[in-house]
Structure 1
């Protein structure tokens, strides 16, 4: 029908229908005219009225509403009297799937904070790796005997930032941390250096300390491993695909909203 509407002024309805029929897209002129004069279906009428409400709410709310918020807003919306004042009565309830269908048809999509493509925090190294010295035992008998290091990501309004942590398993204290917009070796190394400085500044000897991490290249880089060897720190790397390797440090990340990976920091500058 849309094709005929688009070209009928130039070619006429009957010639277009003839060409379409010859091309196995059969449509008779009488069928076209009947469809154009037929009153809209109840669903089409309902959809048209709903579309007006959706577009108005979408614009009134700065074009940020997605399906869920739009659905709730529509079901809260009150009918207006002839003067535009709320009557206290709400519109008939609308299903969420209907809202999704109409927003999709209208090309409307809610705003999202930052880039929601999940970043990768662990890029496996391919060379020799140290053994797993912890074997899922995340306890420690004294401070500065076992550290766990890992990297997570935090969503912001302008994209993701990466956060590297070093955690003392005895005190559960984060002894070193750094934030960066890129997943670079220096990110993990800077967090380690902060932890080393903090403990040495307090007069602690780190020789014999076990440093445990995942199999990421940041922790198996030459500069990183050489720094551990320089201080007599024993490197430990978890087994492949072991979700327990970082369970202890993840608990510390969730300790407060400013360290919560799901917390929506407004910008990388804030982070």
Structure 2
């Protein structure tokens, strides 16, 4: 970790240099037991292979591994990880009942150039003694990851930080598409897009396939990097 000079400003600079949120800078082990962390890792790896698995199928699979646990626990862990079977609803976090959602703008659209459409998604990252959440901003046409951030909570701050970095480095897209997770429907996130003059598009029910490109990035990242290492914290 970069040496801490003791001031809040230096901590913020360190977070930017490490591409992590302030919450990740102070990362501590989560409150989950070692068993639950192991179960979450199994769920995550299986979900990469079978994203149509709901809590019922995931529970049966885990029981076959020799873990005598019930569906209620699996359902809770999946919710904490921010994942759900793709046939039920878009993955990532749950929508916020008080947040405004936006119409889906990509139906029939010919996406043929960079900065025409950007998208974003959140995934679960297992650590040696806990876990973090990773958000990425991606250009739809080029498949280039424009920015990313890690956080130990599913608040909107780390998503906004990633968005602001991408806008600063790569300019302004015409459309920004996400699911209806509470991080992306938050006032802070949507207002950042509005201030930049970006049109907001959100996946509706049954539009989970629109996240396929970024899901492929998650799969590659996890099988080629995350699952091969046991990281202690977010300073990767």
1:155–1:263 CA contact under 8 A, matched in 2: no
Match of 1:81 in 2: none
Structure 1 CA distance for aligned equivalents of residues 235 and 185 of structure 2:
30
1:232 aligns to what SS in structure 2?
Answer: coil
1:153–1:163 CA contact under 8 A, matched in 2: yes
**137, 140, 144: which one pairs with 1:173?**
144
Distance of aligned partners of 1:263 and 1:168 in 2 relative to their CA distance in 1, 3 Å threshold: farther
Distance of aligned partners of 1:225 and 1:178 in 2 relative to their CA distance in 1, 3 Å threshold: same
2:162 aligns to what SS in structure 1?
Answer: helix
Distance of aligned partners of 1:220 and 1:260 in 2 relative to their CA distance in 1, 3 Å threshold: farther
Asked which structure has the greater RCO (Cα within 8 Å, sep 6+), the reply is 2
Match of 1:32 in 2: none
1:154–1:262 CA contact under 8 A, matched in 2: no
Structure 1 CA distance for aligned equivalents of residues 230 and 108 of structure 2:
32
Cα RMSD, aligned residues only: 2.9
Task: Give the unaligned 5+ runs of structure 2.
Answer: 1-37, 39-65, 69-75, 83-91
The TM-score normalised by the length of structure 2 is: 0.57
Structure 1 CA distance for aligned equivalents of residues 176 and 194 of structure 2:
11
**70, 73, 77: which one pairs with 1:117?**
77
The TM-score normalised by the length of structure 1 is: 0.50
Q: Deviations over 1:129-162 (max 9, x none)?
A: 110111386x621110000111111111111210
Match of 2:59 in 1: none
1:254 aligns to what SS in structure 2?
Answer: helix
Query: 1:224 deviation in Å?
Result: 1.0
Structure 2 CA distance for aligned equivalents of residues 152 and 260 of structure 1:
14
Structure 2 CA distance for aligned equivalents of residues 136 and 157 of structure 1:
44
**84, 97, 122: which one pairs with 1:151?**
122
Structure 1 CA distance for aligned equivalents of residues 129 and 117 of structure 2:
36
Task: Give the unaligned 5+ runs of structure 1.
Answer: 1-65, 67-99, 105-115, 201-205
Match of 1:238 in 2: 203
Give 1:54-133 correspondences, 5 Å limit: 117-118=77-78, 119-120=81-82, 121-126=92-97, 127-133=99-105
Distance of aligned partners of 1:262 and 1:170 in 2 relative to their CA distance in 1, 3 Å threshold: same
Matched, 1:135 2:111: no
Query: 1:265 deviation in Å?
Result: 3.7
Match of 1:223 in 2: 188
Query: 1:187 deviation in Å?
Result: 1.4
Query: 1:241 deviation in Å?
Result: 4.8
